[in-house]
Structure 1
């Protein structure tokens, strides 16, 4: 299941995609699944072996990412007979730790497709994108995603796949509550938080168990938090990429949630601080939730349960347009002496046909301009449903993944942000505490 990549050319805000996988780690060569393989080495007089570690985006053995990487390695091998590619596939619950272990043991893979790159870049262990990629490939990344892969304006992290977030709503519940006219063909188009509050009140009056689901539990509190911050005109960082978690806009955002949404009983009986995202998703697919923020995985989950739903951009505090949240996972290449071969493989990985093959398989968004155009031009299948998410991607904001401190800040948010919306909660104090720790960590 997914555990769920801003606008402007310099701001850095995100990460998300966490498609939990099952089963033991899988490995594959260009020809077939094999053992884990050795660290990249010369095999024979001229042949080079590249070792790649990647995350599994499948949720069962039948849709494991192993098949994609096997085909990719085989296709690359045909055009580059002097380079052998061995790929080890690990579940999301272990892939980051596996790579960390390899690096610590002095056996880093040549290429890793994992959740974060900043620590390795800061330690001087990664090639830059400029050192690896052709000019055309490097220029093809969507600007906000390329920017999120930079540290001090130098790109080390290459985005792999992306996603954005939208507001989902249950068409039947909103129609029955009088929010959505029965003959409405254009769907519901809320613009401001006042629209959101008014709709939630009607849903509550109609007996809907959870008018608006607000998951601020540990699973993905950092994501729900960022969506609301952006809609309120704030965010985790300011335009100079410094932490601004305690900004006045962010404080106002959580005061609204505390007083207008939770305080008026519009978020249901479950305490937001104890509600995980998947719990909210499950309730939505059972027809118990009127509205919630969601990512592309909810498309299939809701459709499979027969829930008719609509999707719109997250309403903002004042009704004016603000960036949505985006998320991405990352590819990086370690300095193992195979810069040229790694670069060629990455150029191949980012060809439009290979990008769309993966994103279509897992209902995710492409990270390149060519992949974006290919999906936007397609008709039918998953691409049609994903286009609403796709249209938000070029101007989406991401977590500040270029900061080494982000992992700790994200954990702090998960543990404490729910306190802001509890009865008597103090958003200003909670946000100030998180911000102070974030700035100290960032300065180390």
Structure 2
């Protein structure tokens, strides 16, 4: 569930953290309908949750909300047990890429009609909506999103004579080369940042895996996916990022904080770590969406985030959906965006973060968001991720087509349960 680390990083913006596996009890009277909601630790602040609870119970006097805060560690088996009827809550927050796994159990409520009628599902961010829909059935209601942007050092850009962030891949490469001429690293990109690679593959029209034939097949060896890897290789060569490690080894925030790296690709919340390491960079950090192939649209990005689901065996299924309708509706989406610096579930709501450079850049990129392949077995791919060694092999001089073929075969085996 490495995509959850993306959201965990965003949660650093929170000023108040919720306690793990705690309960925020309801305040309604004994005759109330109790709706139990599982939310994940640090998804929202305690203040946000208190305000939502108070507002919702005032407008729904017959409802008592009980929030139970869960830890991401070990959450998969716990949700599966709950869906099977063991201490089943009425609403569960899940990672957007986990919905397929839980839908496979057959124990999720179909929310297709409700989402179309009440929530304007046609306008949802694709990176949240698509993984929540399995076989044309909407099981997951998009709640919030976060994605990667380019974080840059404004002083280094100014010193290199670069007045505006690039809008196209070609200009991005040219600017990064210019930044290198001043003795800095134009781009620090580790060799195994496979979520970034996924965006470049999607830009070319490719996929990490393809399930259109009825059976999932790894597809890193398609011409489109190989073009995405070719661009990654070109960009990665513009700095000294390790070819055999990801963005955590060493932490790229620490590398950027040294002051001679012009750009990294990360979530905006990484700036919190950068400034903690080097407070002198305060006011010097800028943000822009990953550039696209043309200036008409930013580059594709992996969208991490959360969906809300209703167990089919929940006691209060209808009342649970009403809570989801509020959380996913315009009012509380705007509150969530301004409180947590998340991207709202609809592009039309992004106006609330105008003026917030980092979040606005993230929201612009989110319009080109995607999720990992919508297979219930995708977690098995990430458990022993063959994409990362494939990337290293290519960056170290291996034949891209042969390495991609071998990695695709491993993805196919994992998706088949082998």
Using structure 1 for the length normalisation, give the TM-score.
0.76
Q: CA deviation at 1:127?
A: 0.4
Question: Which secondary structure state, in structure 2, belongs to the residue aligned with residue 289 of structure 1?
Answer: coil
8 A contact 2:380–2:415 mirrored in 1: no
Task: Tell me the residue number matched to 1:56.
Answer: 41
Out of 361, 369, 393, the residue aligned to residue 396 of structure 1 is: 369
1:418 to 1:345, Cα distance in 2 relative to 1, 3 A: same
Return the alpha-carbon distance in structure 1 between the equivalents of residues 406 and 21 of structure 2.
39
Which residue number corresponds to residue 18 of structure 1? 8
How far apart, in 2, do the equivalents of 1:395 and 1:239 lie?
21
Quick check: 268-277 or 82-91, which moved more?
Answer: 268-277
> Structure 1 residues 31, 399: closer, same or farther in 2, change over 3 A?
same
Contact 2:149–2:288 (Cα < 8 Å) also in 1:
yes
- The match for 1:171 is 154
Quickly say closer, same or farther: Cα 1:373–1:339, change in 2 above 3 A. same
Distance 1:376 1:239, change over 3 A: farther
Counterpart Cα distance in 2 of 1:297 and 1:315: 19
Number of residue-to-residue matches in the alignment: 397
CA distance in 2, matches of 1:103, 1:238: 28
* Pairwise CA distance, 1:199: 3.3
Q: Is the 8 A contact 1:233 1:317 kept in 2?
A: no
Correspondence for 1:38 = none
Q: Which residue of the other structure, out of 71, 74, 99, is the alignment partner of 1:117?
A: 99
Residue from 218, 227, 232 that aligns with 1:252: 227
Q: Say yes or no: does 1:108 pair with 2:84.
A: no
Task: Write the distance in 1 (CA, Å) between the matches of 2:395 and 2:299.
Answer: 27
- Deviation per CA, 1:216-260, whole angstroms, max 9, x where unpaired? 45xxx34222123234443325695965332112223324444x4
Q: Does 1:162 align with 2:152?
A: no
- 1:127 corresponds to: 109
**Mapping for residues 278-297 of structure 1, pairs under 5 Å:** 279-297=251-269
Q: Contact between 1:26 and 1:90, CA under 8 Å: does it hold in 2? A: yes
Q: What does residue 14 of structure 2 align with?
A: none
**Once superposed, what is the RMSD of the aligned Cα atoms?**
3.5
Q: CA deviation at 1:197?
A: 3.7
Q: How far off is 1:348 after superposition?
A: 1.8
What's 2:344 paired with? 366
Gaps of 5+ in 1: 5-13, 33-42, 59-63
Counterpart selection for 1:405 from 364, 367, 377: 377
How far has the Cα of 1:110 moved from its partner? 1.7
State how far apart, in whole Å, the 2-side matches of 1:312 and 1:239 are: 33
Deviation of 1:332 (Å): 0.7
CA contact (8 A) 1:314 1:324 kept: yes
Does residue 376 of structure 1 match 2:351?
yes
Query: How far apart, CA to CA, are the structure 2 residues paired with 1:272 and 1:345?
Result: 45
User: For 1:28, which of 18, 21, 24 is the aligned residue?
Assistant: 24
Contact 2:148 2:266 survives alignment (8 Å): yes
Q: Secondary structure at the match of 2:34?
A: strand
| Deviation at residue 120 of structure 1 after TM alignment | 1.6
Deviation (angstroms), 1:340: 1.4
Query: Which ranges of structure 2 fall in alignment gaps of 5 or more residues?
Result: 12-16
Deviation of 1:152 (Å): 0.7
Cα distance 1:358–1:318, how it changes in 2: closer, same or farther (>3 A)? closer
Partners of 2:411 and 2:315 in 1: how far apart? 36
Work out the CA distance in 2 between the residues paired with 1:285 and 1:377: 30
Contact (CA 8 Å) 1:231, 1:315: kept in 2 or not?
Answer: no
- 1:234 corresponds to which residue? 206
1:419 is displaced (CA, Å) by 2.1
Out of 293, 296, 320, the position equivalent to 1:342 is 320
The SS at the match of 2:264 is strand
Report if aligned partners of 2:140, 2:307 keep a CA contact under 8 Å in 1: yes
- Residues 67 and 101 (structure 1), Cα distance of their counterparts in 2 relative to 1, 3 Å cut: farther
Note closer, same or farther for the CA distance 1:307–1:234 as it changes in structure 2 (3 Å cut).
farther
